[in-house]
Chain A
């Protein structure tokens, strides 16, 4: 089968020898919404720009619908790019911006008008169609950028942090619109962001990148509950990490020797040999908080409540572990009892909810 986008051992090394992207493999099916997420400098934007053709790759191939586009200039690739600052043409009106790609390609006037009008309708830009681009609000600009990119009917839409320039409230509602738009149009979206919440909310699959490598490619649920590396465990979600070494594995549950004694979590298919340095990653929502009456054990940690914040239906507790590490746990208000509001508590988890990953 042909994929909409296929990256084969894609790599880029800057002229000064710094690797920006290393041996990146990815296959994206038609209509998928894929996000690249990672800290700044992880290579996510460079990868996007290589797909768009703005930057040359130094190794590997980029295939779009089975065609190798690695050596094509941007204008000959079936992609459109949405930029963080939207990059609207300031000397043109909204309509002219949207029309631009079709006009230069020589699409006949009646068809051009039909397609542009449809796009203006779809993105609700009728009221501002004759205004110049710089006068628009952030949300409007973003919609113009989307309309301009989509009207030329690309195979893939590339989005480079398109929500980064918007304020927090707007971002939430636009996330929703963006997802709806992608569903109805049905074309492949490749979305770059440094905000994990955006990636998890919007995507069918998320690629976590770090230092030019893809650390994990998973759907959001898997990514959130089953991190496969220490980096992902730190970067995605809110996990408590305990360092130790593998003492043994039984039925997919590994026991780690840690500073607090033996601790247990799931291996999720990863293979560990005894003595390997590893981390136990426990998601904050996996903890059950009880009074510190029970004895500590391999799925229990003793903690000390330092403070609490009421968040409406939830309560956020700030808890110190015996090694001084501080963690934040949100628990339902019903669970909140005065008994352990201050002082010693016991944190319990089910070993399958925690994950053991190799130490880095």
Chain B
């Protein structure tokens, strides 16, 4: 009885959740197909057009709306996200490996790392900027911002890897050592292939978190801006639908990343499942 009575409220709740999750994006998507170059964000659409997409790539005749100044920022953000991803994942794997054994103060260190995740980003950014000024270090997206991004994404990579190592059967490593293989080569030949799905997840986390990071970057990026900063910068003048078109494209890019991740995951999971099915048959 209770179950059927709860069914509709829960369904409605789920529906609302999905609505609030995707509706803003939907609106953005619809608005991006407005005709141009005249007129701001209007709803509903009067005349559908791909004008703003063409505008984005400089394929429209010059008009009073300047092209979005984001080309360089996009390259910077992708570069930064990639560097952050590599660094944070490597650090995450290494430190999670360290935490497989208890060491002195390991509990304290663990909480210090994890607590870092909940420190407000603006404060971290501001603090880093002040520290850099104090030390006479110039602020750049590839220096101060890079450091804050690594510090920000590292705990996520660390926690993902910790969860992976938690379920990791250490006897396969011992088996390898006992066959005369050094710990270093054992890591490369046995451990790494087995934890690879986790490494992939850690990479995805680090990349996406860094790619759209705003508060920590705001004070630390110096003169040359990253993509989120550049987009925010355009808001302060006037909002044109080219922003929406860009939003759609960058979201599609993120989805593509997710698809690649999903594909790689599915490959390793399918391998595991094929193995499991064989086991059932026996």
Q: Tell me the A residues contacting B by CB distance below 8 Å.
A: 52-54, 73-77, 79-81, 83, 85, 87-91, 100-101, 104-105, 131-132, 134-135, 137, 145, 148-149, 152, 158
B181 CB within 8 Å of chain A: yes
Cβ-defined partner of B171 (8 Å) among A73, A83, A100, A135: A83
Q: List 17 A-B contacts (CB under 8 A).
A: A53-B177, A53-B178, A73-B183, A75-B181, A77-B178, A87-B175, A89-B172, A89-B190, A90-B275, A91-B194, A100-B179, A101-B179, A104-B189, A135-B275, A135-B278, A135-B282, A152-B179
The interface residues of chain A lying within 8 Å CB-to-CB of B38 are: none
Instruction: Check B279–A75 contact: CB distance below 8 A.
Output: no
- Residues 149-190 of B, flagged 1 when their CB comes within 8 A of A and 0 if not, give 000000000000000000001011011111111110100011
Instruction: Check A152–B180 contact: CB distance below 8 A.
Output: yes
Instruction: Check B180–A101 contact: CB distance below 8 A.
Output: yes
Cβ-defined partner of B182 (8 Å) among A75, A83, A135: A75
Residues A101 and B181 in contact in the complex (CB < 8 Å), given A81-B174, A81-B175, A83-B171: yes
The interface residues of chain A lying within 8 Å CB-to-CB of B279 are: 134-135
Which of A88, A134, A137, A158 has the most C-beta atoms of chain B within 10 angstroms of its own C-beta?
A134
| Docked CA distance A83–B171 (Å) | 7
| Docked CA distance A90–B271 (Å) | 10
B62 CB within 8 Å of chain A: no
Instruction: Check B176–A81 contact: CB distance below 8 A.
Output: no
Instruction: Check A87–B177 contact: CB distance below 8 A.
Output: no
The interface residues of chain B lying within 8 Å CB-to-CB of A76 are: 180
- Interface size band for B: 20 to 34
Cβ-defined partner of A100 (8 Å) among B174, B176, B275: B176
Q: Tell me the B residues contacting A by CB distance below 8 Å.
A: 169, 171-172, 174-183, 185, 189-190, 193-194, 272, 275-276, 278-279, 282
Interface contact tally, CB-CB below 8 A: 82
The interface residues of chain A lying within 8 Å CB-to-CB of B180 are: 75-76, 101, 104-105, 152
| Docked CA distance A79–B174 (Å) | 12
Cβ-defined partner of B183 (8 Å) among A75, A91, A132, A135: A75
Q: Measured between C-beta atoms, what is the minimum distance from B249 to chain A in Å?
A: 38
Which of B177, B178, B193, B276 has the most C-beta atoms of chain A within 10 angstroms of its own C-beta?
B178
Q: Measured between C-beta atoms, what is the minimum distance from A164 to chain B in Å?
A: 13
Instruction: Check B275–A87 contact: CB distance below 8 A.
Output: no
The interface residues of chain B lying within 8 Å CB-to-CB of A137 are: 282
Instruction: Check B275–A132 contact: CB distance below 8 A.
Output: yes
Further pairs besides A83-B171, A83-B174, A149-B179: 4, Cβ < 8 Å = A74-B174, A75-B181, A87-B172, A104-B179
The interface residues of chain B lying within 8 Å CB-to-CB of A81 are: 174-175, 178
Q: Measured between C-beta atoms, what is the minimum distance from B191 to chain A in Å?
A: 10
| Docked CA distance A237–B169 (Å) | 35
Q: Measured between C-beta atoms, what is the minimum distance from A188 to chain B in Å?
A: 15
Cβ-defined partner of A74 (8 Å) among B178, B193, B275: B178
| Docked CA distance A104–B190 (Å) | 12
| Docked CA distance A77–B190 (Å) | 20
| Docked CA distance A54–B174 (Å) | 7
Determine the residue in chain A with the shortest Cβ distance to B194. A91
Instruction: Check A79–B185 contact: CB distance below 8 A.
Output: no
Instruction: Check B178–A149 contact: CB distance below 8 A.
Output: yes
Q: Measured between C-beta atoms, what is the minimum distance from B119 to chain A in Å?
A: 34
Q: Measured between C-beta atoms, what is the minimum distance from A309 to chain B in Å?
A: 35
| Docked CA distance A355–B172 (Å) | 45
The interface residues of chain B lying within 8 Å CB-to-CB of A148 are: 175, 179
Instruction: Check A79–B193 contact: CB distance below 8 A.
Output: no
Determine the residue in chain A with the shortest Cβ distance to B275. A134
The interface residues of chain A lying within 8 Å CB-to-CB of B179 are: 75, 80, 100-101, 104, 148-149, 152
| Docked CA distance A148–B183 (Å) | 18
Instruction: Check B171–A85 contact: CB distance below 8 A.
Output: yes
Instruction: Check B190–A80 contact: CB distance below 8 A.
Output: no
Q: Measured between C-beta atoms, what is the minimum distance from A285 to chain B in Å?
A: 40
| Docked CA distance A192–B185 (Å) | 28
Instruction: Check B175–A91 contact: CB distance below 8 A.
Output: no
Q: Measured between C-beta atoms, what is the minimum distance from A259 to chain B in Å?
A: 50
Determine the residue in chain A with the shortest Cβ distance to B182. A75
Instruction: Check A75–B177 contact: CB distance below 8 A.
Output: yes
Q: Measured between C-beta atoms, what is the minimum distance from A39 to chain B in Å?
A: 22
Cβ-defined partner of B194 (8 Å) among A90, A100, A131, A132: A90
| Docked CA distance A297–B240 (Å) | 111
Cβ-defined partner of A104 (8 Å) among B183, B185, B282: B185
The interface residues of chain A lying within 8 Å CB-to-CB of B189 are: 100, 104
| Docked CA distance A89–B193 (Å) | 10
Residues A52 and B178 in contact in the complex (CB < 8 Å), given A89-B190, A90-B275: yes
Q: Measured between C-beta atoms, what is the minimum distance from B171 to chain A in Å?
A: 4
Q: Measured between C-beta atoms, what is the minimum distance from B101 to chain A in Å?
A: 12
Which of B177, B189, B279, B282 has the most C-beta atoms of chain A within 10 angstroms of its own C-beta?
B177
Q: Measured between C-beta atoms, what is the minimum distance from A238 to chain B in Å?
A: 34
The interface residues of chain B lying within 8 Å CB-to-CB of A74 are: 174, 177-178
Determine the residue in chain A with the shortest Cβ distance to B178. A81
Which of A79, A104, A105, A131 has the most C-beta atoms of chain B within 10 angstroms of its own C-beta?
A104
The interface residues of chain A lying within 8 Å CB-to-CB of B175 are: 81, 83, 87-89, 145, 148
Determine the residue in chain B with the shortest Cβ distance to A80. B178
Instruction: Check A87–B181 contact: CB distance below 8 A.
Output: no
| Docked CA distance A81–B282 (Å) | 27
The interface residues of chain B lying within 8 Å CB-to-CB of A91 are: 193-194
Q: Measured between C-beta atoms, what is the minimum distance from A145 to chain B in Å?
A: 8
